[in-house]
Amino acid sequence: MKAVHSAQVKCSVDGTAADGLQARQAVLLSTTNCCALLMCVTGPWGFARGLVRLYLETPSTAPCAAILVLLKQEEFSFASAAAPAKPSACMQALRLWTLLATCAVAVGQNQGQKNQECPKLNAQMPEFQKKTVHIKDPARVEEIICGLIKGGAAKLQIITDFDMTLSRFSYNGKRCPTCHNIIDNSKLITEECRKKLLQLKETYYAIEIDPALTIEEKYPYMVEWYNKSHALLIEQGLQKDKFAEVVRESDVMLKEGYENFFDKLSEHNIPVFIFSAGIGDILEEVIHQAGVYHPNVKVVSNFMDFDENGVLKGFKGELIHVYNKHDGALKNTEYFKQLKDNSNIILLGDSQGDLSMADGVANVEHILKIGYLNDKVDELLEKYMDSYDIVLVKDESLEVANSILQKIL
């Protein structure tokens, strides 16, 4: 660029069009010869790729833009000065150079735009700087988020757990209830039943989160726990029309930022699949009372079966517990087939069993797994970081998910 600049200065000083034209032609001839040599060594496409790289690594587009402007000016300058009817080899090379440079800048601009779409977690997403956020492979997470952004709303779907994932684990140091706990703590059951349910929780919850046991080893215990708890609830003759009041009086809370989460997904008609091992009737009442049970939300859970008087007589379908969501996911393949174009997934869960919730999706392009680690952090953090792309430790908000959705939508 310095040589071009000096030649232009010389033209101005000499004050004659002929001298200026000769100087400019000399510079272009030198440039063309250099380009021709480079193209001979690298080939046209290798040369073009080099221009793209130069463009991307140059802080300003001014150098490339200046070269293009000059080349276009010279093309017209040569045309106006009695140029030979048959272009010389020099002019042919010059035109090839112009074409390649134009393509290089266009490709570079497009690639630059794509790079801007792919955020750096620390620089552009402050939510990822929170102490609660743990990521084993930041580069991989950036790559997945970039894929989600490029796919946009048209390709996105959400698959999420509910208890302790969308709902809070604790508030001001006090444990918040799960869907089962809402019933367990309510006035709908007797004190004797409440004590039995609490004993079951103390026995089996320890097994559920025991880091020394495999999922296969925990599986039969979860079946025992759920079946015994559901049998006790059936004995109580629970009335369906009392559930709204029970939920209102409970301490259940959705995570901070839930309105933004649900409303933005509804606004863009993003499918939300809530896959819960809780009680579906209670879950639906919670999100209904929160004002976020939008048409784009589908709930799969343990739903109660009532008689003609609205009294609980059993549970519908097969049991869903923490560690059999793989089976449930595969049974919902018809739902996922309807969303065959929604190949990008954000999965949210709080247990190792939640990792299989997307197993029914056949055509996964990009999947980002976000895991909430609420208990036994020291024992489980490493295992969670090996399984989930992002681990949120004792985090009672949806800030990270919302920040990602902000980039995608």
Active-site residue 163, yes or no?
yes
Buried b (16+ CB within 10 A) or exposed e, 150-188: ebebebbbbbbbbbbbbbbbeeeeeebbbbbbbbbbbeb
Active-site residue 161, yes or no?
yes
**Considering 161, 184, 354, 395, which one is annotated as catalytic?**
161
pLDDT of residue 218: 96
* pLDDT tens digits for range 163-193: 999 999 999 999 999 999 999 999 999 999 9
* pLDDT tens digits for range 116-169: 557 777 667 899 999 999 999 999 999 999 999 999 999 999 999 999 999 999
pLDDT of residue 44: 54
Specify whether the CB–CB gap between 26 and 7 falls below 8 A.
yes
Of all residues in the chain, the percent with pLDDT exceeding 70 is 71
**Considering 14, 19, 137, 163, which one is annotated as catalytic?**
163
Taking phi first (over 0 means left), then psi (-120 to 50 degrees means alpha), and beta for anything else, what does residue 376 get? left
192-to-201, 227, 263, 322, 340 alpha-carbon distances in Å:
15, 18, 41, 26, 49
Confidence of residue 64 (pLDDT cuts 50, 70, 90): very low
pLDDT of residue 22: 53
pLDDT of residue 125: 87
Confidence of residue 28 (pLDDT cuts 50, 70, 90): very low
Confidence of residue 9 (pLDDT cuts 50, 70, 90): very low
User: CA 247, CA 242: separation in Å to the nearest integer?
Assistant: 9
**What tokens does 150 get?**
């490029």
pTM for the complete prediction? Answer: 0.73
* pLDDT tens digits for range 72-122: 444 444 444 444 555 565 556 556 655 655 555 554 554 445 445 577 776
- Pick from 35-39, 245-249, 389-393: least confident: 35-39
User: CA 221, CA 178: separation in Å to the nearest integer?
Assistant: 19
pLDDT of residue 151: 97
pLDDT of residue 178: 97
Q: Which helix (H) or strand (E) holds 110?
A: helix 89-117
Specify whether the CB–CB gap between 374 and 394 falls below 8 A.
yes
pLDDT of residue 124: 76
Q: In degrees, to the nearest 5, what angle opens at C-alpha 182 toward C-alphas 180 and 188?
A: 105
Q: What is the mean pLDDT of residues 358-385?
A: 96
